[in-house]
Structure 1
Amino acid sequence: MSRFAFTLAWLALAPCANAATFLVDTTSDDGSAPFQLCDANPGNANCSFRGAITLANASAGADSIVFDIPISDAGYVAATDHWRISPATTLPLIQDTLSVDGYSQPGATANTLAADEGGSNAVLKIELHGFGSSSQAGIDVGNGNPLLHLRGVAINNFQINVQLQSPGPNVVEGCFIGTDITGMQGMAASNNSYGIRQRGAAIIGGTTSAARNVISGNGYIGLWDESANSTFQTSQVQGNIIGLGADGSTVLQGQDYGLYVTNPVQGNVIGGGSVAARNLVSGIETSAIYISTNAAAANANPVRIQGNVFGTDWSGTLARPNGSFPSSPSQPQPTIVVFRGGECGVLIGGDAAGEGNRIAHGAAAGVLVSTCTGAAILGNSFHGNAIGIDLAPFSNADGATPNDAGDVDQGGNRLQNTPHIESISYLDNGATMQIDYLVDSATGNSAYPLRVDIGGGSKGQMEIIAFTDSIAEVDAQTLRSVSLSTASLGGHALVLLATDADGNTSEFTSDALFDDDFEE
């Protein structure tokens, strides 16, 4: 679903009758009646954020909370020129359709940088700072049918900074989740564990510059997706910076997982086919994306991870590794983990322009597929990971898997055999390569036609695809001969990758003579 369609859906579900706007003009946490005079003139210190939520819950219709807090307010922080609201107890659940707009505070400005121009230059003025309770949530949307549109607020120091429990679709955009007001300092600690917990449909970020969130510095998880618990509407996570500061380069230490996807709606999208839709997920201490628990109903409607950048800064030139696992450096973790029962229900990359991910500098595997089948890994660019793709028979990574006769073994992606390079010869004074290879997969053990990507890369990981071959069932387990321009490999070593018709992608195989390439 596009961002435009999501916005229409949000508006269609939001009642219009009796809508009211409540103007917060004090950082006081007093929610009693004297602080619920939210339609008065700004500056009278008679409308607190707690009071405004209380009023919105009692007001039918799609209400709004906006801000105009004076510098004279006790919660003004001169050093950073912003206002800090510090709830002493848990704020009221949001129980009706509500927009909370931090950009309404004078001086606040949304990000204007495109994804390929840097991080986020948003200037936020409203900070919601928790009191550190192990059970406290910051913004908390209740279980009924409320809808939230949250933008332009820094939220930190809550056990769960934003909790979206309703079926949705809820929207979170242009916020700093888990960081200070600058987006450059994390709050990673036990009282700042979860950035966003999503239990229904949501759009997190978006494809406009202003929608970009920074979700970093949380002690455990940036975004926890449990969307299938309350809805079957699909969600989108697009255009966000996860794990890095607002500059798109500085690692904010402490966030164990970027996205922890334990019960998603099939069809959810992480990223997309445009530069604007890509998420930058880097500097994560364990896994950038971890998908587990329930098996997919069908691989025909996969969770799609597309067009994202993993393991670099915003420019793609500086290494910002995922998976270094500083608490136990001898046990680095994969960048993307798919660990489910039955069908994986996940597509990593794709064949359309822009759908391939950049997966780089991972301390362990770029992608680990454990136990489940049909995780297609297509069109991606891998570079500098400890291993590109790791298929494992059980839950733990096990490194490169040797081919077996006929491909009868079982495990992640059925442990699909890799193409075996039989010989390479050069024609036309080296301008043409002839590659003879074999995929030893019997028809009963792999679904045909079998796709083989042939490309170039370094250290056994494919960075570019030069040619895609297709093996029909009648040609199973026969020697293949393919010719292509030597220049099409871009000066890289030869790398091959097989994917069967059910989406079971193999590990990489490479020409060992040139496995280290010429780069490093």
Structure 2
Amino acid sequence: MRRLFIFSVVGLVGFLCVMFMTHKAQAATYTVLNTNDSGVGSLRQAISDTNASVGVADTINFAIPGTGPHVITPASSLPGIHDTVTIDGSTQPSASCGVLVPTIATVSNTPHTLEITIDGTNSDGIFVFDGGSASDNANNSVIKGFNLINTTSYKGAIGVLPGFGGQANNLQFNCNYIGTDISGTTAQANTTGIYLYNTTGTVVSNNLISGNQNGISAYTNTTTIQNNLIGTTSTGMSLLGNSVGMNLGLGVSAHDNIVSGNTTGVQMTDSTVLQHNLIGLNLAGTAVIANSGDGVLNKGSSSVIIGGSTAGERNVISGNGGNGINVLAEDGGGDGCSSGAVSGTNITGNYIGTNISGSTAAGFGNGQNGIVAHAQTSFGCSATINNITIGGDAAGEPNTIAGNTLDGIRIYQAGPSSQTSVFGVVILPNSIFSNGQLGINLALDTANNGVADADLGPNVINSFLMSYLATNANYYINRPTINSTSVSGNQLTVNYNYQANEVEDNLPAISAVDIVGYRLDFYLNNDTQDGAYTGYAQGKTHLGSFVVDGSETNATHTFTSPIPLIGSQNITVTSTVLWKTIPDPGTNCQDDQWGNGPPYTTTCIFEN
């Protein structure tokens, strides 16, 4: 009996183990068979079934009978997506995914052929990853092959906003038309096309996102937005704009997109990267599809990268109605005071106002400035810009800024210095030419209305002491004057004078002992007049730079020219004050943080 008892127990345990294993959930494929709001074969039922199938990667395919396209109009919001699933509208017969952006500046593309439209008129978003509980795990889900329209929720046609500890990471959203009809030619707007928050590793690619109020709003780490048409029709050749094409922050990288035809092309905040996009041009790069406002608005941000040193990182930002790039620090009102700040922005290697070859062409210039950086206050709070680098000394780092209606670069401070400050804006070598007014305009806003005065013209030569630099830079900082030049082969020798301004003794914010030196940059330009002022040319081809300690008279320097010295060439010179201490009360660098020589790109450098 004892042995039988033991045998029976062992057998029972084995039986229970077998029963447990046979009930383990297996990945399943659910097929949508009709356009009904609910019930067997409906999309709603399929999503509910995949949510109940916990811990496995299910698939939802489509096989709705009859000739498409087929329209599903949920009577209320679809269930949130709580578990890993691939929802693939491209499995519907006759549907296929094309390639919308094969490469940047390509002649043509292959639009998608979509057969499933989901109308979100009655929905609080359409496909929403809402993280209903801490046990939710929708990682690695895919949404593809849909035409998504008419939702008025901020959550978007596709929305990721997991709460309560739920997870929705490493998602893929591709092969969709969001905010247009199924042909990709007419707007059927969503309030937000795609909304991403609190997700990592997500990729948004090969979508048409047009006709919406907000195309993409993404505030999330390590998310990539690539190879999308944003603000055009499905061919990438005509306008079908969003109000804002992309609104990016908190670790988003956007590359190889066409962002054109919107009101604002791209709005950027903290820790974002924008590289190798066409902003304001068609897919082929052959014609303008203007964003009617700024191409790029960098507002209230830190650690932003726009462009890079290689052709594969260069943005072309041209043809827009406003500025090519607008770097704006602006305060906020409401309950209490909200300060605004922009710091740590690098703008390198871009074509701004030109065609895709970096040459000027009629209509490709931006309607205002190539780049503008300014701080303004509307509510009596504070706004600060600092540590902005434009261009660079290394190969590929200079921007080409040409053909813009107003200035190539405009920097100014709007409002009193007690509330706004602009410092640490470093203009390193760039190629600046054929802009309507000045190459570089350090402007004023004497009316304190957020708008720069009519430009003051080229800097006058004077003996004034420097007052607060961002306020009075244009008249109070001198440029060198050229006395004579001589040429031997490709060697160019320049004889010049330079009168270095000194600071006022009674300003606690800046001190003469903090001046490291003055960087002088020399440029060539083959036009006798380039811009609005007779006898002045903008800095097209950088000859070289060096640092002087102070004023110099009849000094000489010899450069090796990077271009043949044939015919008439004009020389343009800029002066940059190099500081060891940031000229701002209470904010100081460590001694000698400025470094040992050019390019002087730390926060302790002040551009004038």
Task: Give the structure-1-normalised TM-score.
Answer: 0.72
Equivalent residues in 2 for 1:11-410 (5 A)?
32-34=43-45, 36=47, 39=58, 42-45=61-64, 57-59=81-83, 66-70=88-92, 72=94, 82-83=113-114, 85=117, 87-89=119-121, 90-95=125-130, 97=139, 100=142, 126-130=176-180, 136-142=191-197, 144-145=198-199, 148-165=202-219, 167-188=220-241, 192-205=242-255, 212-218=256-262, 220-227=263-270, 234-264=271-301, 266-293=302-329, 302-319=344-361, 320-324=363-367, 333-340=368-375, 341-371=383-413, 372-386=422-436, 387-394=438-445, 395-399=451-455, 400=457, 401-410=459-468
Distance 1:434 1:260, change over 3 A: closer
CA distance in 2, matches of 1:177, 1:40: 28
Do 2:462 and 2:478's aligned partners in 1 also have CA atoms closer than 8 Å? no
Deviation of residue 21 (structure 1)?
Answer: 10
Aligned counterpart in structure 1 of residue 518 of structure 2, from 438, 445, 450: 450
Equivalent residues in 2 for 1:492-507 (5 A)?
492-502=569-579, 503-506=605-608
Deviation string 1:42-82 (CA, Å, 9 cap, x unpaired) is 4414999999x96773116xx65555244546999xx9662
Do 1:20 and 1:64's aligned partners in 2 also have CA atoms closer than 8 Å? no
CA distance in 2, matches of 1:427, 1:482: 13
CA distance in 1, matches of 2:463, 2:481: 15
What letter matches 1:290 in structure 2?
Answer: N
CA distance in 1, matches of 2:278, 2:217: 19
Do 2:318 and 2:366's aligned partners in 1 also have CA atoms closer than 8 Å? no
CA distance in 2, matches of 1:338, 1:27: 55
Deviation of residue 309 (structure 1)?
Answer: 0.7
Deviation of residue 504 (structure 1)?
Answer: 3.1
Deviation of residue 270 (structure 1)?
Answer: 0.6
Do 1:261 and 1:289's aligned partners in 2 also have CA atoms closer than 8 Å? yes
CA distance in 1, matches of 2:258, 2:72: 23
Do 2:44 and 2:78's aligned partners in 1 also have CA atoms closer than 8 Å? no
Aligned-residue identity in percent: 19
CA distance in 1, matches of 2:188, 2:247: 17
SS in 1 for 2:81: helix
Bigger Cα displacement from structure 2, 371-380 vs 337-346: 337-346
The residue that corresponds to 1:465 in the other structure is 542
CA distance in 2, matches of 1:45, 1:483: 77
CA distance in 2, matches of 1:19, 1:161: 37
Deviation string 1:213-242 (CA, Å, 9 cap, x unpaired) is 111111x11111133xxxxxx221111111
What letter matches 2:452 in structure 1?
Answer: N
Bigger Cα displacement from structure 2, 29-38 vs 353-362: 29-38
The residue that corresponds to 1:515 in the other structure is none
Deviation of residue 153 (structure 1)?
Answer: 0.7
1:420 aligns with 2:455: no
Deviation of residue 104 (structure 1)?
Answer: 12
Distance 1:256 1:70, change over 3 A: same
Larger radius of gyration: 2
CA distance in 2, matches of 1:336, 1:27: 53
SS in 2 for 1:344: strand
Do 2:264 and 2:291's aligned partners in 1 also have CA atoms closer than 8 Å? no
Do 1:25 and 1:68's aligned partners in 2 also have CA atoms closer than 8 Å? no
CA distance in 2, matches of 1:470, 1:292: 30
CA distance in 2, matches of 1:260, 1:135: 22
Q: Structure 2: any 5+ residue segments left out of the alignment?
A: 1-24, 51-57, 99-109, 131-137, 148-173, 182-186, 332-338, 376-382, 414-421, 446-450, 504-510, 531-536, 580-604
Deviation string 1:140-168 (CA, Å, 9 cap, x unpaired) is 124x4565321111111110011114x42
Structure with the bigger RCO (C-alpha within 8 Å, sep 6+) is 1
Q: Please give the root-mean-square deviation of Cα atoms over the aligned residues, in Å.
A: 4.1
